[in-house]
Structure 1
C-alpha cells in the first residue's frame, strides 16, 4: 500500500474544500504577515528545546512540525533545518524505544503522544520507516475495546481530551498504517467519535477533525460537529477552552483550524472571518500569542527561549495552532 504524507493529503483537502494555498507573495496579507512574524519564534524555541531536553513533546515537536510543515507547504519562508532537526529528534527518541513500542509500552504521554508524533511526522513529509511502524504497533496495542484511545496524564488543555487522543491516533494510522488490523482499528475509532458526546472545545474540535479525516460527509455528522463547534464561539468572536473560561488564543486557533481543515463553504462565513480577526487583534508585538497555563507542572521548569515564562509551553502550542489556522487564505 502506498502511504501518502500528511502534506499531500492536506493539499488534496485544500483544493476540495475551496481553500487556495497561501503563496509567498500572499504573505503580505494581514494573516500572512502574522504567520511570518510567528515562525521565527517557533523555530528559535524548538531548536533550544532539543538542546536542553531529551523527551518528545507535543508542544515543541509535534505542533511545531505541523505548523512549520504547513507554512512551508503554503509557500511561506521556513528554515528547512528547523523541521529536519525536529524530525531527527523525534525519530531518535522513539527509535530508542522500539522494543517497548512493539509491546504497547514506552510512550510516557500515552496514545495521544504517539498519535501526535505520527501526525506531525507526516506533516513534515517523513516517509514510513521502522520507527513509524513501531508507533503504529503501539497504537494498535493500546486501543480500548470501545474503539477510543485514552489520555493517561491529564494536563489541560493539550493533554486532556480523549477525542484528541482518538482523532490523532486515527490520523497517525491513516498516514502510516497499512494492514487489515489497522482498518479495523480505524473503523472502531471512527464509530466511537461518531457516538461519544464532546464537552470541551478541545473535544469538539478534535471530534470534527476526526470525522473529517474519516471521510464523514459534511451533510451528515461532520456538519453537525462543525455547527456545534461554531455554536461555542463567544460574543467577542473567540473561543474559550471551557464554558466558564474566557476566549483565548489556544482554543480559538484550534477551533478555527478544525473548521477550516474540515472544509468551509464559499463565501467564507462571517464567523470564521471574525474569529481570524480575533487572532490578529490578539497577537503580541513579538509575534506570539499568550495563553495562561492551567496545568500543574510535573517536570522541572525549562526555558525554551519562547516568551511568557511559566506560560511558554501552552503559549507556543497556541502560537503553532494560530499559524495553522491563519496559513490558508
Structure 2
C-alpha cells in the first residue's frame, strides 16, 4: 500500500531524532496546563460567535470539541457550553444568505461538532441533530470518493491534494463514528478507496487522522504502521510540527498525542510523556501556544488562527492522555 513508501524515510528519521526529554510532567502539571488554557479558548471562541456570528471559520468547532473534552474529564468550563454547542448546531443547519445550508461551507467544522457530541446520548433531539449534521457531510462528494477542502484550507502550506485527502479522512471518520446507514455506506466505501490509494502526506495531521481512521475501521496492520511512523516524526523536544519538517508546535503535537492515545499507546509511554512535557513547558502566560501560520503566505510568523487551532488541539491531546 501507499504507506510503505515512507518506511525507509521513517526509519532514518527515527535514528536522527535522538532521545526524548527525560523530564516528565506530573498529572497535576498537565491538569493545570489544561485549566489555564480554557479561558483563552472560551474568550476567543465566544468572540467569533457574538461578533462574527460565524460557524464556518474553522474556530467554533475546535472550541466546542476541546471544551467538551475538558468538561468530560472534570475540568471547569463555562456553564454556557451547552448553549454554544446548540448555537453551532443550529447555525450549521440553517440556510445562509444565499439559501444554502451553512454547514456545507464548513464540513470540517461540522465534523468537529459531531465528534464532540456524545454518541451514547439517546435524547431524540440530539440524535436528530447528529443525523442532520451527518447528512451535510454526504453532500458534494466527488466521483473519486473525495471531498474538496472547505473555506481557506486549500491555501495551506501543503499540497492541495493532501489537504483534500485530510478533509476526506476527517469526514469519513465522522461518518463512521456516527454509524453506517443506507445513505452513508456507499459514500464511506468510495471515500475509503480514495484514501487507501492516496500518497502519504507531508503533514503530521495526515498521519494522525489516517491513524484515527485505522483505529475506527479496526485495521490493525495500518494502525501499527502509522503508530511507528508518528513515533518516528516526534522531535527530540517531545513535540511534533504540523508539517513533519516544521519545528515542534502545539498543533502538530496535540494531533499526534490524541491519535496515539486513541490507537492504544500507553499513557506512560515515553512518546506520550514527552509530548505532554513539550506542551506543559511551552504554554504562554495567556494559556495559549504560539503556532506559525498554516497558510503558505503566512507560514513564517505566528498567526491568530493557528494559535487557536494549536491551543484547542493541545487541550484535546492533553485531556485524552491523562491517566485513566
Instruction: Give the structure-2-normalised TM-score.
Output: 0.76
Query: Residue 290 and residue 61 in structure 1: after superposition, are their counterparts in 2 closer, same or farther (change >3 A)?
Result: same
Contact preservation (8 Å) 2:93, 2:133: no
Contact preservation (8 Å) 1:146, 1:192: yes
Q: Which residue of 2 aligns with 1:56?
A: 55
Query: Residue 178 and residue 166 in structure 1: after superposition, are their counterparts in 2 closer, same or farther (change >3 A)?
Result: same
Matches within 5 A, 1:197-208: 197-199=199-201, 200-208=203-211
Query: Residue 66 and residue 297 in structure 1: after superposition, are their counterparts in 2 closer, same or farther (change >3 A)?
Result: farther
Q: Which residue of 1 aligns with 2:13?
A: none
Deviation at 1:88, TM superposition (A): 2.5
Contact preservation (8 Å) 1:151, 1:161: yes
Deviation at 1:107, TM superposition (A): 2.1
Query: Residue 79 and residue 113 in structure 1: after superposition, are their counterparts in 2 closer, same or farther (change >3 A)?
Result: closer
Q: Which residue of 1 aligns with 2:141?
A: 143
Over the aligned positions, Cα root-mean-square deviation in angstroms equals 3.1
Query: Residue 242 and residue 171 in structure 1: after superposition, are their counterparts in 2 closer, same or farther (change >3 A)?
Result: closer
Matches within 5 A, 1:1-329: 29-57=28-56, 59-81=58-80, 83-97=81-95, 100-101=100-101, 107-109=104-106, 111-122=107-118, 127-129=126-128, 132-152=130-150, 153=152, 154-156=154-156, 161-176=163-178, 179-199=181-201, 200-217=203-220, 220-265=221-266, 268-295=268-295, 311-327=303-319, 328-329=321-322
Query: Residue 264 and residue 213 in structure 1: after superposition, are their counterparts in 2 closer, same or farther (change >3 A)?
Result: same
Instruction: Give the structure-1-normalised TM-score.
Output: 0.75
Deviation at 1:58, TM superposition (A): 5.8
Query: Residue 162 and residue 230 in structure 1: after superposition, are their counterparts in 2 closer, same or farther (change >3 A)?
Result: farther
Contact preservation (8 Å) 1:238, 1:275: yes
Query: Residue 213 and residue 324 in structure 1: after superposition, are their counterparts in 2 closer, same or farther (change >3 A)?
Result: same
**Counterpart Cα distance in 1 of 2:186 and 2:232:** 33
Contact preservation (8 Å) 1:116, 1:169: no
Contact preservation (8 Å) 1:194, 1:211: no
Deviation at 1:206, TM superposition (A): 1.1
**Which stretch shifts more, 271-280 or 118-127?**
118-127
| Matched pairs, number | 284
Contact preservation (8 Å) 1:163, 1:193: yes
Contact preservation (8 Å) 1:167, 1:209: no
Contact preservation (8 Å) 2:211, 2:227: yes
**Counterpart Cα distance in 1 of 2:283 and 2:119:** 25
Give per-residue Cα distances to partners, 1:230-270, cap 9 Å, x unaligned: 1111233221222442221111111111111221147x321
Give per-residue Cα distances to partners, 1:173-213, cap 9 Å, x unaligned: 23445522312322333343334232121111111112212
